[in-house]
Amino acid sequence: MHIFNLWNFTLAVCSLVFAAVLIALLIAMLRASARKRQAGLEPAPWEWSETRPEPSPESRAEAGHEAGHESSQEARTRRVVTGASIASVVLLFGLLLADVMTDRALSRLPVADALHLEMTGHQWWWEARYGRDSAGDAFAVANELHVPVGRPVVISLKADDVIHTFWVPNLHGKKDMIPGRDATIEFRADRAGTYRGQCAEFCGLEHALMAFSVVAEPPARYEAWAAHQREPAPQAVTDMHKRGEQLFTTGACANCHTVRGTSAAGLLGPDLTHLMSRPMLAAGTFDNTPANLAAWIAAPGSMKPGTSMPASRFSQQDMAALVAWLGTLQ
């Protein structure tokens, strides 16, 4: 709410200034045109022709008379410019003061009974780890956060490779994530909804495709989500699913990814235990559908150039089995 109020105040001030500048420009243009017409130096718009008549002696005399008033007009112009400059400085200081007050209000948010988690920025995806608590074991998700509405959230921020910046505009300001340094950010979502987050520090080729989402939901729904995330992957039942699991756990996939409940325990890539519960793939790059998933496995570089995930070659039947098994990771 503090950030929302700051945004409304900033938008109102900037809109008023923009409107005032346009109005002043329009008035200046109209007055300049009127003066020239009165002096006979410029015909009215409907009097333009290819040959412009020379101003008459009377017009020149009137123009000279008008020149006598230039000094008073210049003085008036200086007063207007000075007043506008002073108003601009006052408004800028007002915006600065509002920004400082918003930052102080955010820093004073109570963090009692806060939800603590850790978020790490990688090239180019996000890893969120929810800590061990009385409700059960820790778990990890990729490129999304779920938080309970009305409860403070304290996030420990880390960077695995280069500098990243955590930024969810609707919930808080930016916070740098510097390798070797730990930082924290606190916020509270007062309304349920899905908020887009983005890396706000250029971190390489796929910086623009390094997004995540924050899902704020009622406490009961959040607890149900967290309880489900703590569960291991379901057991493969059909022959096709068993074939897909075998391809995953015995191939290169298991070197990078973890699927709890199987032998796959890789730590280089996202945890895929509940892969299909996520609406997006590749840090918000495309929808999480079986077709996109198969294309991503086969040629990730064509969908997200620069990604560190290598291409995997499977026959059509093996790819169908692998995607079918991944589809069970709800």
| Mean pLDDT confidence for 144-171 | 93
Tell whether the model's pLDDT for residue 40 goes beyond 70. Answer: no
- Of 147-151, 169-173, 290-294, 325-329, the range with the lowest mean pLDDT is 169-173
Q: Which token pair is 47?
A: 């009097």
| DSSP 8-state symbol, 276 | G
| Mean pLDDT confidence for 31-51 | 62
Write down the pLDDT at residue 55.
57
Tell whether the model's pLDDT for residue 86 goes beyond 60. Answer: yes
Residue 53's pLDDT band (cuts 50, 70, 90): low
Tell whether the model's pLDDT for residue 204 goes beyond 70. Answer: yes
Tell whether the model's pLDDT for residue 1 goes beyond 80. Answer: no
Bigger pLDDT: 50 vs 224: 224
Q: Are 111 and 153 in contact (CB under 8 A)?
A: no
Write down the pLDDT at residue 235.
92
* β 153-159/115-122 pair status: parallel
Write down the pLDDT at residue 297.
95
| Mean pLDDT confidence for 225-241 | 94
- Of 34-38, 73-77, 109-113, 215-219, the range with the lowest mean pLDDT is 34-38
Write down the pLDDT at residue 24.
84
Q: What is the pTM of this model?
A: 0.72
Helices 290-298 and 316-326, interaxial angle, to 10°? 120
Longest dimension (CA), the chain: 103
Q: Which token pair is 301?
A: 């570089």
- Bridge partners, residue 207, by sequence: none
- Of 56-65, 214-223, 321-330, the range with the lowest mean pLDDT is 56-65
| Mean pLDDT confidence for 232-237 | 93
Separation CA 39–CA 74 (nearest Å): 18
Tell whether the model's pLDDT for residue 134 goes beyond 50. Answer: no
In this structure, which amino acid lies at residue 282?
A
Residue 102's pLDDT band (cuts 50, 70, 90): confident
Write down the pLDDT at residue 9.
87
Write down the pLDDT at residue 25.
86
Residue 36's pLDDT band (cuts 50, 70, 90): confident
| Mean pLDDT confidence for 98-125 | 84
Residue keyed to tokens 């607890």: 223
Separation CA 153–CA 114 (nearest Å): 5
Residue 76's pLDDT band (cuts 50, 70, 90): confident
Half-sphere exposure of 247 (CA within 13 A, CB side): 22
